[in-house]
Amino acid sequence: MDTSRDEKKLLRYTYLLCLVCFANLAILKQPLDKNAMVMAVVTCLLIGYSYFIIRKFFSDGDKYIFIFSSILSVIGIVMIYRLNMASSIKQIIWFAIGVTGFILIVVVLPDLRRFSKYKYIFLVITIIFMGIATLFGREVNGSKNWIFIGSYGFQPSEFGKLFLVGYLASSLKDYKDFKNLIEPGIVVMVCLGFMVMQKDLGSALIFFGISVTMLYIATSKFRYVAACFALSSIGAVASYRLFDHVRTRVLIWQNPWPYATNKSYQVVQSMFSIASGGLTGSGLGLGHPEYVPVNTTDFIFAALCEELGILIGFAIIILYFLLFYRCMRAAVYEEDNFSRLLAVGYAAMIASQVLVIVGGVMNAIPLTGITLPLVSYGGSSMLITFFSLGIIQKISEEGR
């Protein structure tokens, strides 16, 4: 069945969304903000040209992966422009680099099955990226998970996620019995240990989500998943007792109101922001998201809900679900175990990150300082997400 017509229709809606949102921001400023319209045109051209390249030269794969990720990126760029023009210019540059990487992965990479033999290369790179911040990292917002080179900072664990999925896929593809799980189990525990030492609870939750999902897909045994949850519960209790940072996060999650002016200021302002927006929001450019701390990164979902409404917040979550569904669909059609597990791992990585940050912003779970994929400001997050989606796109091409 040819889905080209539906894809192009959805793309036209994406262009319309981009143009209308930026036009709205342009009109609100006096005199008319021409830079907003330039941003709109550049974003639309990037998306349109990228889709043309993928559709023309690689027509077999699932193009909805790119389209849904583009819609989410448009929403993020618009909101970041509304909050901080300088950051939005940087974000669109990262978006362009990420999309370029997405296309290059689809075009340049050979058959992904060849990479299954590089298990220990994946392992070494994973350990390096996971552990380097423990030794050389700088503490930011309570977590020692940032490396700074001059004025540029990045989280090594973001890149470690890519290689961890590759290692687990190459380790679990030939699963036969419990013995095959010992080595990857130790590797995952070491990675989680690094995250605990860095006080990076968000990444620890994401790695756990990735590992458990890939474990279940590879083995189809629920008892292994139950054992992982039991061990993680023990680790969570130990972390709670060992680190003040963890105890503080749990304390403000249980009852943020007594600490609204200090420890839980971020969470309380986030909940106020979401509540003030109501169902339909105050209007793009008409709210006060500036009262929410770090509103372009960790709390951008709260800013979106304030100005566009909780209904748009639900729509964004549905878009992530559709993206996750298309990624998992690529895994279903793939016959090679290594490629299938890669698709599952990267899909689980994105889904886990969304659940963790949205849950933290709404105080459904203890807050963790991570970004909302494709929407939040951040170069390394944008690149890693598009690289992951590029690999899944490649898998969807191979599976047809």
Q: Given CA atoms 320, 133, 379, 116 in this order, what sign does their dihedral have?
A: negative
pLDDT at 42 over 90: yes
* Cα distance between residue 330 and residue 197, in whole Å: 36
Mean pLDDT taken over the chain: 90
CB neighbourhood size of 14 (10 A): 21
Average of per-residue pLDDT across 216-229: 92
d(CA 362, CA 316): 15
69-81 average pLDDT score: 96
In angstroms, the CA 297 to CA 336 distance is: 37
Residues 165-206 have pLDDT tens digits of 999 999 999 898 888 999 999 999 999 988 888 888 888 889
Position 148 scores a pLDDT of: 84
User: How far apart are alpha carbons 355 and 318 in whole angstroms?
Assistant: 12
CB 383 within 8 A of CB 101: yes
Q: How confident is the model at residue 2 (pLDDT cuts 50, 70, 90)?
A: low
Q: Is the dihedral of CA 164, 172, 58, 69 positive or negative?
A: negative
At 3, the pLDDT band (50, 70, 90 cuts) reads confident
Predicted confidence band of residue 1 (pLDDT cuts 50, 70, 90): very low
pTM of the model: 0.94
Predicted confidence (pLDDT) per residue in 237-246, tens digit: 888 888 787 8
Q: How confident is the model at residue 400 (pLDDT cuts 50, 70, 90)?
A: low
In sequence order, the β-bridge partners of residue 148 are 153
pLDDT digits (tens, 9 = 90+) for 342-375: 999 999 999 999 999 999 999 888 887 788 999 9
